[in-house]
Amino acid sequence: MGNSFVSEGDAKGVGVGRQKTIGSTIRCSGVGLHTGQEVTMTMRPSGPNTGIVFRRVDLPHTPVVEARPENIMDVHYATTLGKAGVEVKTVEHLLAALAGLGIDNLIVEVSGPEIPVMDGSAAPFVDLLLQAGIWRHYVPKTYIRVTRPLEIEMGSRSIQILPSKRFRIQYSMCFDHPCFREQSIEFQVSRRNFIREIAPSRTYGFLRDVESLWRRGLALGGSLENAVVIGEQGALNDLRFKDELIRHKVLDLIGDLYLLGRPLQGTVVAKGAGHLLHTALVKEIQRHLESDQASRCVVTAPASVRFPVPASPKPLGSPAL
Ligand SMILES: [Zn+2]
């Protein structure tokens, strides 16, 4: 491995070693969280090494956008992918479900610009995918192994990834609300605990932010049916977990990291992070993978990337969405 921070490997010692897709075509419909548009989504099995590919079936020539780091287009309040002017918004909850179930190859057709939000969590996607059945290809899965620490800082927020034998996440967040202050959680991410402990956690938003979000054309499809809404006195709907907010941050992180297209072996430590830092880590890992492959270049430690602090930083409790 030499000086590389990350390397690719086969599934040796990791357990589940073959690429997977789904066994049959499945479909669902619902509104997009931000656009409020009704969308139908059809998921189709696909062959080995195709990855996760979105297809906009409402546009001429049904253009595709691959779930790849180079297609990350916008990370405000949701992760939007884009290529040649074609967008697919809010991909992270579906990607988390695919990561959690270990699905490598899939065609996702959407009849609009955004993935349906369903109930605001990844659980409806998990149920659908399990109904479709999971099929193994006779092709090995590859993993990304972190061999040296990588860290990205942005003011008081940070994300780092450390070498470890398993995929682990430690997430901490200080929410700017009297009922939800400091929350932190730690998971070893397995299929079992993803389905039980992470997938059902819903996106959330603060009532005080709703009008300004609407003015900016965001959260237009948001409601108590698909988000935990937090008013002055606390959550307006029943929580599924006492710490549902931080669990949803973990869900978003798992979805964003899956833009790398392969599972990660490493421990991610996120402090006050969000889509911007999640995807910055994805791009940094991808950059190391490509530069190591291209030139075996020497990367000097410490690998810490500092982003300038925005002039008016948003409070750490701004919506995850
Ligand atoms: Zn989310």
Are 231 and 113 found together in one domain? no
Enumerate residues 6+ apart whose C-beta is below 8 A from 197: 187, 241, 247
Lowest-confidence pick of 34-43, 59-68, 143-152, 211-220: 211-220
Decide which of 16 and 201 is more confident.
Answer: 201
pLDDT digits (tens, 9 = 90+) for 86-138: 999 999 999 999 999 999 999 999 999 999 999 999 999 999 999 999 999 99
Using the mean position of ligand 1's atoms as its centre, give its distance from the Cα of residue 155 in Å.
22
pLDDT digits (tens, 9 = 90+) for 209-252: 888 888 888 888 988 999 999 998 999 999 999 999 999 999 99
Q: The domain that contains 36 carries what CATH number?
A: 3.30.230.20
**Domain shared by 164 and 224, yes or no:** yes
From 201, 264, 224, 221, select the one nearest 90 (Cα to Cα). 221
pLDDT surpasses 50 at 319:
no
Same domain, 60 and 156: no
Same domain, 193 and 88: no
Answer whether 116's CB lies under 8 Å from 41's CB.
yes
First-to-last alpha carbon distance for the chain, in angstroms, is: 38
Cβ–Cβ < 8 Å for 78, 275: yes
16, pLDDT greater than 80: no
Which band of pLDDT confidence, cut at 50, 70 and 90, is reported for residue 7? low
pLDDT band at 267 (very low <50, low <70, confident <90, very high): very high
How close is the Cα of 93 to the center of ligand 1, in Å? 6
Q: What confidence tens digit (pLDDT) does each residue in 149-201 have?
A: 999 999 999 999 999 999 999 999 998 888 888 999 999 999 999 999 999 99
Cα 223 to middle of ligand 1, angstroms = 14
Boundaries of domain holding 291 = 143-307
Q: How far apart are CA 110 and CA 133, in angstroms?
A: 20
| Last residue within a domain, chosen from 140, 155, 176 | 140
| Residue 51 sits in the same domain as residue 175 | no
Going from the Cα of 142 to the center of ligand 1, the distance in angstroms, rounded, reads: 26
- 3-class DSSP state of 205: strand
Q: With respect to residue 10, please indicate whether it lies within any of the assigned structural domains.
A: no
pLDDT given at position 216: 87
Structural domain total, the chain? 2
Examine residue 124 and state whether it is found in any structural domain, yes or no.
yes
pLDDT band at 308 (very low <50, low <70, confident <90, very high): very low
Q: How far is the CA of 294 from the centre of ligand 1 (A)?
A: 34
Q: For residues 127 and 220, state if they share a domain.
A: no
From the candidates 137, 248, 275, 288, give the one annotated as an active-site residue: 275
User: Max Cα separation, the chain?
Assistant: 56
- Specify whether 275 is catalytic: yes
Asked if pLDDT for residue 316 goes beyond 70, the answer is no
Look at residues 81, 108, 140 and tell me which one is the last residue of a structural domain: 140
